[in-house]
Structure 1
């Protein structure tokens, strides 16, 4: 069963390499930590199933993002909207800031993440990938749309985020 072992090794490498991306995409779809963990596991399973179908036409990073976003969209459709919490997340703490700085950074991150979660799905997908540093072309490839559509979605998302975040935009 050498082929299966190679496939699992490749999957494990891909998962390790893109764990942060997957985690942030999951966070853009789910506020509840327990449900986010479930979503992240669903994304990993979807990636494991989809990985053998990747033929290299698109960059692997875009492929991973597309699989994760598709699973996130399915998750949103299947979940009732719940109020978001504001618990502190130690993963985002930066050592160079004092306690007040940590609290301020966390509050800003939570506000942005909540505002992104409230965006319509098509805008949320584009802005999440843009925040991950994807180019317009990479976003287009990951979402299966044109680069012009990416620009339109990002402009609409930017406008909506400015309105949602008010003076702190």
Structure 2
């Protein structure tokens, strides 16, 4: 950023403003996602952030860096979006079959996985941290925290802002911010690495092959005893191999339109598949391998027929 570019943007030069914020767009989008847990919401919030920055730039005094100023706006707008989420609950599609009774509940109807193709657009120096911080289990843990606790944890432990900087972004005192951070750290889920390479890919291949053939027995052989299946925005949660198997069998028997075709992508550093039914995109599957990579610890089936577009996949397959 040059002073001339900043002054031009302050004077209403849209090209200068676009150049000014371009280096931060992708990381701001990722920040909005971590707080909201939704790629769709992150898209919307980022547009609000850029509009607010455009309108507020004449008042930017330069007491902090432009990046810090933008993160303050993004944090505020993301927290506002979380409050909006609670006022507009997201409904789940009605299944075309009678599902078995779930044995637990999943409480994150707005959750969506973050596409690795978007992380690839970040500066290589920050990609490793970014990949860890979009791991689904970590994002779920953030969503279950009080929003300001999650925000201060992200700002300090993921983005390396100081407690004082985080306090200013959240419009709280440093002591309050420190307390929020301590409580968030005590509840945090640390991102974990999983096995990669041949074993990782072999597990994903076996799962995709069995799932696309509705070979439930072969799918179950790949699961741990305590594997669970969640289907945001639905609240049903099936825990344990038997419960997961009961749901998969009911789905295979009652689903109109034949079998799914799965197209491999990657979401939050995990094997994922866009699901196509009769050639039309019908949501996304993400599997969580165990630490060793030889079993599956969880399956998340996202019932959002527009989610594939974030991964650059077509609406229809030939």
Per the alignment, do residues 86 and 140 of structure 1 end up closer, same or farther by CA in structure 2, a change over 3 Å counting? closer
Instruction: Tell me, yes or no, if structure 1 residue 151 matches structure 2 residue 157.
Output: no
Q: Is the 8 A contact 1:50 1:67 kept in 2?
A: no
What residue is the counterpart of 1:30 in the other structure? 36
Whole-angstrom CA distance in 2 between matches of 1:107 and 1:63: 22
Whole-angstrom CA distance in 2 between matches of 1:116 and 1:90: 22
Q: Is the 8 A contact 1:92 1:106 kept in 2?
A: no
> What pairs up with 1:106-125 in 2 under 5 angstroms?
109-125=135-151
Instruction: Tell me, yes or no, if structure 1 residue 41 matches structure 2 residue 47.
Output: yes
Whole-angstrom CA distance in 2 between matches of 1:83 and 1:143: 23
Tell me: higher relative CO, structure 1 or 2? Use CA pairs within 8 A at least 6 residues apart.
Answer: 1
Per the alignment, do residues 14 and 143 of structure 1 end up closer, same or farther by CA in structure 2, a change over 3 Å counting? farther
Q: TM-score, normalised by structure 1?
A: 0.73
1:47-80 deviation line (CA, Å, top 9, x unaligned): 2222222112233222111111111122111123
Q: Which runs of 5+ in 1 are unaligned?
A: 94-104
Q: TM-score, normalised by structure 2?
A: 0.42
Whole-angstrom CA distance in 2 between matches of 1:90 and 1:37: 15
In structure 1, which of residues 123, 138, 144 is the aligned counterpart of residue 165 of structure 2?
138
RMSD: 2.9
What residue is the counterpart of 2:152 in the other structure? 126
Q: 1:113 offset after TM fit, Å?
A: 1.6
Whole-angstrom CA distance in 2 between matches of 1:159 and 1:135: 18
Per the alignment, do residues 69 and 87 of structure 1 end up closer, same or farther by CA in structure 2, a change over 3 Å counting? closer
What residue is the counterpart of 2:111 in the other structure? 84
Higher strand residue share: 2
Q: 1:133 offset after TM fit, Å?
A: 1.4
Higher helix residue share: 1
Instruction: Tell me, yes or no, if structure 1 residue 63 matches structure 2 residue 69.
Output: yes
> Larger radius of gyration, structure 1 or 2?
2
Instruction: Tell me, yes or no, if structure 1 residue 4 matches structure 2 residue 12.
Output: yes
What residue is the counterpart of 1:52 in the other structure? 58
Whole-angstrom CA distance in 1 between matches of 2:18 and 2:26: 14
Q: 1:126 offset after TM fit, Å?
A: 0.7
1:10-43 deviation line (CA, Å, top 9, x unaligned): 4223321322331122112333323321222122
Whole-angstrom CA distance in 1 between matches of 2:188 and 2:28: 22
In structure 2, which of residues 68, 73, 80 is the aligned counterpart of residue 74 of structure 1?
80
Q: Is the 8 A contact 1:136 1:150 kept in 2?
A: yes
